[in-house]
Structure 1
Amino acid sequence: MTGGTVNRTIYPLTLFYDAACPVCSLEMDHLRERNRDERLVFVNIAAPGFDPAIYGVSYADMDAEIHGLCADGTMLRGVEVLRLAYDAADLGWVLRPTGWTPLKPLFDAGYRVFARHRREISRAAAPLIHAIRAARARRKAAEMRACRNGACDIHGHDRSTS
C-alpha cells in the first residue's frame, strides 16, 4: 500500500476513470457488476462538469492514470488502485502478483505504458471490446428474462424480500 499505511480506511474506494476510453470503461463495467457490497464508487472523469480540482488533482494527472480516493481521504493512483478495486470485487487474487516486491516495479511501469497508450489500444481492440460488451448484454438480458414476479436474485439480494 502507498505510504506504508496499513491501518487506513480504504472502502468505499472512489475510482476516477475515463469512460471515454473503451478499455477503461469495459474494466469498470466488470468491477461494477461485481460491486455487490458497494465497496466501490465510480466517477467518470470524462463527464461534463467533472472538476478534479476539488480533489486536489489536475485533470492531466487523472487522465494519465487511474486514481482512487480512499474513505479516509488518501488519494492513490496506478496499479495500487486496481489492486484495491479487485480486492473489493472479490478478485484480489487476479492482481496479487502485481504487488509482489520483485514484480511490482515491472507491473507499475507496464501500467504506465498502457495508460499512456490506452486510446490507441482501445482503437486496436475495438472488435474484441464490442464482442465482450455484446456477450455481457446477452447474459444480462437472459438474467432479466429469468426473473419472475420480482423474486430473482440480483447481486446476491433477493428482491422479493426487499
Structure 2
Amino acid sequence: MVTVFYDSMCPLCVKEMRKLSSWDTEGALQLVDIHQGDFCDRFPHVDPSSANRILHAQDSSGQMVYGLDATYVAWRAVNKGYWVKWLRWPGVAWFADKLYLFFAQHRYRLSALLTGQARCQQCQLK
C-alpha cells in the first residue's frame, strides 16, 4: 500500500487525489489529509508543515518519497505510472522537479486561476 499525505485545503491537490482514488480499484492507496486533527498522533514520522510544502508519500516498502517521486509512486500504485514516468527520466527530472517546486509554492494561486477557488476549508475527496 502507498500512503499519500495531501493538502486538503488545496483545490488542485484534492482534484488529483479524487482522480487517483477513482482509479484505485485494488485499494492500493491510502490518502491522508495532513490537516486532520489527529494527523500528528497517527503519523508522527511525517512533519505536517514539511508535507504542506511538498507532497509526501510512503511507498509500499515503508520508504518516504517526496515531490514528483511521491506523485510517481502514487500514480504507479493505481497502474497509471506510465503517464508520469517520463518526469523521472534523467535530464527531464531536474527540470520537472524545479517546475514542481514552483507549482507547490504557488498552488493556491494556481488553484484560483484554474478552479476559481484558491483554498477550501478541507475539501472533501468524495
Give the TM-score category using the shorter length: 0.7 to 0.9
One-letter identity of the residue aligned with 1:101: P
Aligned-residue CA RMSD (Å): 2.0
The answer on whether the counterparts of 2:40 and 2:46 sit within 8 Å (CA) in structure 1 is no
1:94 partner amino acid: W
% identical aligned pairs: 25
Structure with greater Cα Rg: 1
- Superposed, 1:120-159 pairs within 5 Å as 120-127=109-116
Counterpart of 1:4 in structure 2 is none
Residue 107 of structure 1 is matched in structure 2 by 96
- Measured at CA, do residues 63 and 71 of structure 1 come closer, stay the same or move farther in structure 2, by a change above 3 Å? same
Q: CA deviation at 1:61?
A: 0.6
1:52–1:59 Cα contact (<8 Å) kept? no
Question: In structure 1, what residue type is equivalent to 2:58?
Answer: L
Normalising by the residue count of structure 2, what TM-score does the alignment of the two structures yield? 0.85
- Residue 66 of structure 2: aligned partner: 77
Using the TM superposition, give the Cα deviation of residue 57 of structure 1 relative to its aligned residue in structure 2, in angstroms. Answer: 3.0
- Which TM-score applies when normalising by structure 1? 0.67
Using the alignment, how far apart are the partners of 2:43 and 2:25 within structure 1?
28
Q: Indicate if the aligned counterparts of 1:52 and 1:58 stay in contact, CA closer than 8 A.
A: no
Q: Which has the higher contact order (CA 8 A, sep 6+)?
A: 2
Cα distance in structure 2, aligned partners of 1:52 and 1:126: 32
Confirm whether residue 39 of structure 1 aligns to residue 6 of structure 2.
Answer: no
In structure 2, C-alpha distance between the alignment counterparts of 1:86 and 1:68, rounded to whole Å: 11
Residues paired across the two proteins, number:
118
Report the secondary structure of 1:105's partner residue: helix
2:49 pairs with 1:60: yes
Distance 1:48 1:23 in 2: 22
C-alpha separation between the residues in 1 aligned to 2:11 and 2:58? 22
- Distance in 2 between residues matched to 1:52 and 1:21, nearest whole Å: 22
Q: 1:131 corresponds to which residue?
A: none
